[in-house]
Each structure stands twice: as structure tokens, then as C-alpha cells.
Structure 1
Amino acid sequence: MDSRGLLALTLIFWYGCHGALSCPVRCTCHFGIQSVEAVCPDAALSRYPSDGLPGNTTSLTIQFTNLSSVSAHELGATTLLQELHLPGNRLSSLQADLLTGLHHLHTIDLTGNQLQELPARVFYHAPLLNLVLKDNWLTSVNADWLPANSSLTWLDLSGNKLRKIPSALLQKLSRLETLDLSQNLLEVLLAESLHSLHALERLHLDDNRLHSLDAKAFSHNTNLTHLFLQKNKLSSLSATVFHGLDRLQYLDLSENHLTFLTPGTLGLGISWVELTFNPWHCDAKIEYLWKRLNNMEVQSEPRCASPEALKDKAIAALMRKELGLAD
């Protein structure tokens, strides 16, 4: 038997002697050499599954249950926890000291609960990299949720009721790589809103109510590779709003209110721009977009919404004469 096999047998024997191979009722546990994963998906579960939960659990998932509360004391029994997934439960509040003692916790997922407000310092006590608060009832975000030296790289606040970009909190997140603010009630993106996010690579602002973007809204986000702006109310864009985004590969502007693009709006380095389902008005003002579409190898196929004579025609396939342009 090789050394790995011997180690595995030794650990299993040790765990067995100390009761570490137990598992709570209504849960399933998976035991690895260096990890223990517990998954509790039973809808009938209404209490935190303390009884039988291995103390060396590294990943805990309690999902789509009737769980309405979790305490710091309960989580404190599993100090090696690295991932905590609590989607689809009935949590309406969290304790301020909930994560105390969880010095290895890097991921917490609270998707689909009933959270409206969170206490100060609620995420202070763990070295979080990934924080998911998707599909809750949050109307505001407070800067004091996270420490100034936060290591967070992924923040998901989608599907809430936010009306403003949480700029004060974002100022603490200099390492953030992914920010998801989609499916909220955002209306304006101001110049300074995202300036602290120098490491940002993926930004989701889709499915909001944005009607304007400041010309310098993304000027400090030069590492952006993917930008999602679809399903908003944008009717015009500054010619320089995407300038400086030299790493940008994907830009989605579909399902807005755009009728034309100002010359120079789209950088030459973007390999895919999604422009469908805008009310493009096909006359001489659309010349820049028309030329841009014909110069891109990979491109969606936006179509004219007006005038009536050109309605539903692919913009890229139009002739100069149809646009009223001189030969």
C-alpha cells in the first residue's frame, strides 16, 4: 500500500474513533482526506443541524429549507469551515458576530433569503473572498459590513432593491474582480461610483433602470474584460465612456433605447458587442455603427427599427444609398 492509501486509512480510523464520520439527520456528508462536505437539502429542516455535524467540516450547504436563524455559537462548532452555502432558506437577519472564529471561511452564499438589513461588522470576522447576497430584499448597502482591508474578489448583490451604487462599501474593495449589481433599481452611474475598483474584470449592471452613464464612469476600471449593460434605459452614450478599456472583450448593450452611436464609442479591441433589440434609426447618423459592424468578424446582428422602409433590415447589410449617404 502506498503512503497516500496508508494516510487515508489512518485518517478514517482516527475520524471513526472520534465520531467525526457522523452526519446529521436530513443531511449527506462526503469525507475526503483533507475535507468534509455536508449538504442538507431537506425542506422539512427548520433548525441548524448541529447534532452529528462533524467538527472538521470544511464545506456546509443548507439549501431550500425552513431554516430561519443561524447563530455564531452553532457555526463555532466547525472552526475549519471554508465554505458556507445557505441559499433558499428563510433567514431574515444575521448576528453581527456570526462569523466569529471562522478563520478559514472564504465563501458565504446567502442567495434567496429574506434579508432586508444587515448589522455593522457582520462580515468582519472571516477572510472572505466570495460574498453572495443575491435575491434578497436589501434596499441599501452599508460600508461597515466589511473591513477596510477586505480581500473580497467576488461580490454579488443582484436581485435586490438597490437604488444607488454602494460606493462607500466599494471603496474598501480594491481587490474586487467581479461585481454583480444586476436586477436592481439603479438609475444613474456617476463618475466616482466605481473608481476604487482597479482590479475589476467583470461588471454586471444589466436589468436595472440606468438612463445615463457618466463619461468617466469606467475610467478607473482599466482591467475590465466583460461589461453587461443590457436591459436598461440608455438612450445615448458619451463617445468616450468606454475609452481606456483596452482589455474589454465583451460588451452587452442590448435591450436599451439606443437609436445611434456617437462616432468613436466602441473601442477597436472589443471582440464582441451585443447590440440587438435597440430601436436603431437607420439614417445618416448611424454611419459609424454601420461601418463598425462591417469591420467586426464576430458580431451580433442588430436591425433597424425605423424608418418604416428599413424596419427589421440588418444594419450591416444596408447600402450607402439606403442610409442617405453620398457615394
Structure 2
Amino acid sequence: MGSWFLLVLVIIVSTSYQGAFSCPQRCTCHFSSKTTEVVCPDASLTHFPSESLPGNTTSLTIQYTNLKNISTHELRATPLLQELHLPGNGLSSLPAEMLKGLPHLHTIDLTGNQLRDLPPLVFYHAPLLNLVLKDNLLTSASADWLPSNSNLTWLDLSGNRLIKAPFALLQNLGLLETLHLSQNLLEELPADSFQSLPALERLHLDENKLQALDAKAFSCNTNLTHLFLQKNKLKSLPATIFHGLDRLQYLDLSENRLQFVAPGTLGLSISWVELSLNPWHCDSKMEYLWKMLNKKSVQSEPTCATPEMLKDRAIATLTRKELGLED
């Protein structure tokens, strides 16, 4: 009687977990007591690997394949999913309410697809913390992608075709800590551009087309610790633009068109300022920057572009006489 009962129990348990330890073709699966990770890196994959996909999958990666479509129904078969990584595929659209039925999903990565536009409610229904849309073809970002009470802390929209910062979408992201907008087509930043992001710590604006910044562009972002503005077209900076950013530790202004900075522009709290590859004009207007470079122990070493007699000289090594300053 006991052995018969044990046999029935084994059959019931094995039936209940049917598929829990299976693995789709062209994929690799890693099982542990708490997680099931599925990775599908085969370029010959053209469809979502529904067959044999473990129902208890917690992390699914389909990368650099020929996957061109994905459906809400397919994703709903993995209700325990926490991370979804889909980089380097051929996705040109996503279904509305894509994440419905995924109550544990906190990370989705859609890097390097062909996304031009996204439907309303596309990222509703899941408690997302990290959303990566890097290297797609997006020209705008809509407020209705995410709910108004979004818990998102990381948003990456770099490498797209945004002409303006996605202010409407950002209104929903009061908990956002990291924002990537680099490698877009941004030309300006109005006053209080990121006023809806009081928790923002890292802001990436590098490799855009910014020519000028409003003096109050970052005035509401007092928690900023890292600000990346390199590889833009900035010719000057408002003297007060970084005032009030008392937590700012790292500032990158390299590869712009700056010739000098006004006295008081760079706060003393900043431990590293990257200033190289600007066309610095080394005359008496450089006194403030020259003094600052000599005070800070950790610094980049910007050099003079003009006048010709000082070209390529490190600014910090110049003498008062060379700068045209009185003794």
C-alpha cells in the first residue's frame, strides 16, 4: 500500500512540474532553487521559443536573432518572469499592453531593435524598475507608455532620434534615478527641463546637438551626482547653471566649443571636471579656470587652442604673465 501511494505521488508531482525543467531548442537553460534563466542567442531563431519554454522562467534572454514579433499571449506563459532581455533582434513594433500578466517583471531591455513608435499602455501592468530602449528609431516618447505612478528608476533612450527631451513621459517618473538621453538630436534644454525628476542622480546628455543651456536647466535636480554633457556644441555656459547642485561629483564638458568659463561656474563640490578637447582661448579671461585647475588634486588636463604661442600648452602650467594677468 505504501509503495503504491508513493508511486502515485511521484506521478502527480512529475505531472505538476511537467515542462518546469524543459528547455527550447537553440536555447540554454539554467535552473536553481529560486530562478530559471533561459538564454536564446541563435541567429536562426525566427519565432518566440514557446515550445518547451519553462513556465517558471524568471529571466528570458533572446538576443541577436531574427525574432521580428512578440505577443502578449506568448509572454503570459511565463507569469513568474522578472527580467526580459531582447537586444539585437528585428522587432519593429510591440503589442499594446505587452506586459499584461507579468506581475513580477522589473527589467526589460529592447536595445538595438527597429522600434519607431510604441502603442499606448505598452509598459503598463508590470512593476518596471529598469527600461532600456537604446539604439532604436524612436523620434518621440509618449506619456502613456507608462502609468502615472511608475516605479521606474532607470530609463535608457540613448541612440534614438529624439529632437526634444521626452518631458511628457518624464512627468510620470518621480522615482527615476538614472536617465540616458545621449546620442540623440537634442538642440536645447529649457528652464526646469527635468523638474519632474527630484530623485535624479545620473543624467547622460552626451553626443547631442546642444548649443546652449538655460541657466535653470538643472535647477530642480539637486540630487544630481553625475552629469554628462560631452560631445555637444556648447559655446558658453551660464555662470549659475550648476549652482545648487551641491551633490554633483562628476561633470563632463569635454569635446564642446567652450573658449572660457565665467568665474564661479564650476562649484567647489565637484571632485572631477572633464574639460579636454575644447578650443580654450588662453588670455586673462582664463584666470578663474586656471586657478581652479591648480587647486583641484584630481583633474583632467585641458590645453590651450589659442593663441598660437600657447597652443597645446596645459592650462594649469601657464604663468600669470603668459595669461596676461598682473602680478
Taking the aligned partners of 1:175 and 1:98, their CA distance within structure 2 comes to: 22
1:281: which partner in 2?
281
Report the 3-state secondary structure (helix = DSSP H, G, I; strand = E; otherwise coil) of the residue aligned with 2:179. strand
Report the 3-state secondary structure (helix = DSSP H, G, I; strand = E; otherwise coil) of the residue aligned with 1:323. coil
Pairing of 1:86-101 with structure 2 (within 5 A): 86-101=86-101
- Whether 1:318 and 2:318 are equivalent positions in the alignment is yes
Taking the aligned partners of 1:195 and 1:15, their CA distance within structure 2 comes to: 54
Q: Deviations over 1:32-55 (max 9, x none)?
A: 101000000000000000000000
Report the 3-state secondary structure (helix = DSSP H, G, I; strand = E; otherwise coil) of the residue aligned with 1:321. coil
1:257: which partner in 2?
257
Taking the aligned partners of 1:176 and 1:47, their CA distance within structure 2 comes to: 34
Report the 3-state secondary structure (helix = DSSP H, G, I; strand = E; otherwise coil) of the residue aligned with 1:203. strand
Taking the aligned partners of 1:159 and 1:25, their CA distance within structure 2 comes to: 32
Q: Deviations over 1:174-221 (max 9, x none)?
A: 000000000000000111321111000000000000001110111110
2:270 maps to amino acid: I
Report the 3-state secondary structure (helix = DSSP H, G, I; strand = E; otherwise coil) of the residue aligned with 1:290. helix
Q: Deviations over 1:7-26 (max 9, x none)?
A: xxx9xx86995231100000
Taking the aligned partners of 2:169 and 2:210, their CA distance within structure 1 comes to: 20
- Whether 1:140 and 2:145 are equivalent positions in the alignment is no
Q: Deviations over 1:83-118 (max 9, x none)?
A: 000000000000012110100000000000000000
Tell me the CA shift for residue 125 of structure 1. Answer: 1.3
Is the 8 Å Cα contact of residues 234 and 256 (structure 1) preserved in structure 2?
Answer: yes
1:54: which partner in 2?
54
1:5: which partner in 2?
none
1:185: which partner in 2?
185
Taking the aligned partners of 1:80 and 1:74, their CA distance within structure 2 comes to: 13
Taking the aligned partners of 1:150 and 1:308, their CA distance within structure 2 comes to: 54
Is the 8 Å Cα contact of residues 15 and 21 (structure 1) preserved in structure 2?
Answer: no
Q: Structure 2, unaligned stretches of length 5 or more? A: 1-9
- Whether 1:115 and 2:115 are equivalent positions in the alignment is yes
Seq. identity, %? 73
Is the 8 Å Cα contact of residues 192 and 220 (structure 2) preserved in structure 1?
Answer: no
2:130 maps to amino acid: N
Q: Structure 1, unaligned stretches of length 5 or more? A: 1-9
2:326 maps to amino acid: A
Is the 8 Å Cα contact of residues 130 and 154 (structure 2) preserved in structure 1?
Answer: yes
1:70: which partner in 2?
70
